[in-house]
Amino acid sequence: MAAIGAPTGAMDLRGDARRRRKETRIRRVFQGAAVFSVIVSVLIVASLLGRALFFLSKVDLSALWIPSRGWYPRRGVFDIPTIVMGTLVVSGIGMLVAAPLGLGAAIYLSEYAKPRVRRILKPILEILAGVPSVVLGFFAITWIIPNVVQTIWPEAGFFNMMGAGIAVGILITPLVASVAEDSLRSVPGALREASYGMGARKRTTTMKIVVPAAVSGIMASLILGLSRAIGETMIVAIAAGASGGSAFKINPLEPGQTMTAAMTALAIGSDQVRGQEGTFESLFFVGLVLFFITLVLNIVSERFVRRVRKKY
């Protein structure tokens, strides 16, 4: 006898057509979800590109690169170096905070912390990573700037790039720590044993063997952190101080304008953005530049991560 319910004729080997159709439908649903992200990326670039090109057609291209003119979109002064410099200052300060803190935490968690300590500290670090950046922005103006920045530099104003940069650094520290820790932990224990077996101490093993072996992952963590710092908007919009426009600033104790904050200032409140032709569209151009900067950084960091994977 045939098995339960199984038909015996050769004709029936084709199986149930309805079930096969259902299988195909479900495959399509999942495929659609995956393709969606690609479509959105393309749409973003496309929507930025159209308006950005419109902006470029309306302004004098040579005027985009005259340093120290400042960024005053409503007056038609679009000086890209001003907002690029603002972004560099804020994210540079952020990296100065996040690189030592994040890498230090990663080395401690991976090499020094006892398993019990790691079980407690790692989730705390992850909670910090989940703090909304608007909260950190307020933390910057209510605590960091009055208690840290103005204590060290009394001449600093209430809004400044230093305070925003420190808050951005705090924001990206968990990201740097987490990616760097993963790469340190992926260094095989056999290498540590080999080093200890040679009579190396813990710090020699960590600094001369483990960290160099994980260097690609550590670089990736820093690049990811930098790309997050460059893209960070809320903290700089709240704490860096420039609303609408800004002069060309290098001194971090003064208020400044970053690329992201420049976009926010243009995007909130449509009555404010009616300036000359192209004022509103400048935000798309800045967005496009920002998009490509972070894209390049993410591709570079992806390369580094892949190099780590290949090695072991």
Residues that bind other proteins (CB under 8 A): 114, 188, 190-201, 204, 208-209, 212-213, 311
Q: Which is nearer to other proteins, 192 or 249 (CB)?
A: 192
Q: Which is nearer to other proteins, 110 or 133 (CB)?
A: 110
Q: Which is nearer to other proteins, 30 or 312 (CB)?
A: 312
- Distances in whole angstroms, Cα of residue 167 to Cα of each of 130, 143, 257, 260, 289: 14, 10, 16, 15, 24
Residue 202 beta carbon to other proteins: minimum distance, rounded to whole angstroms: 9
Report whether 220 contacts 305 (CB < 8 A): yes
Q: Which is nearer to other proteins, 66 or 113 (CB)?
A: 113
Give the C-alpha separation, 241 to 72, whole Å.
14
Residue 303 beta carbon to other proteins: minimum distance, rounded to whole angstroms: 18
- Distances in whole angstroms, Cα of residue 175 to Cα of each of 78, 142, 172, 182, 229: 33, 24, 5, 11, 11
Residue 99 beta carbon to other proteins: minimum distance, rounded to whole angstroms: 23
Residue 195 beta carbon to other proteins: minimum distance, rounded to whole angstroms: 8
Q: Which is nearer to other proteins, 1 or 190 (CB)?
A: 190
Q: Which is nearer to other proteins, 32 or 188 (CB)?
A: 188
Residue 204 beta carbon to other proteins: minimum distance, rounded to whole angstroms: 5
Q: Which is nearer to other proteins, 154 or 189 (CB)?
A: 189
User: What phi, psi does 256 have (nearest 5°)?
Assistant: -145, 175
Residue 206 beta carbon to other proteins: minimum distance, rounded to whole angstroms: 12
Residue 108 beta carbon to other proteins: minimum distance, rounded to whole angstroms: 17
Cβ atoms within 10 Å of 100's Cβ, excluding its own:
13
Q: How far is CA 286 from the centre of its chain?
A: 17
Q: 213: closest CA among 104, 99, 109, 309?
A: 309
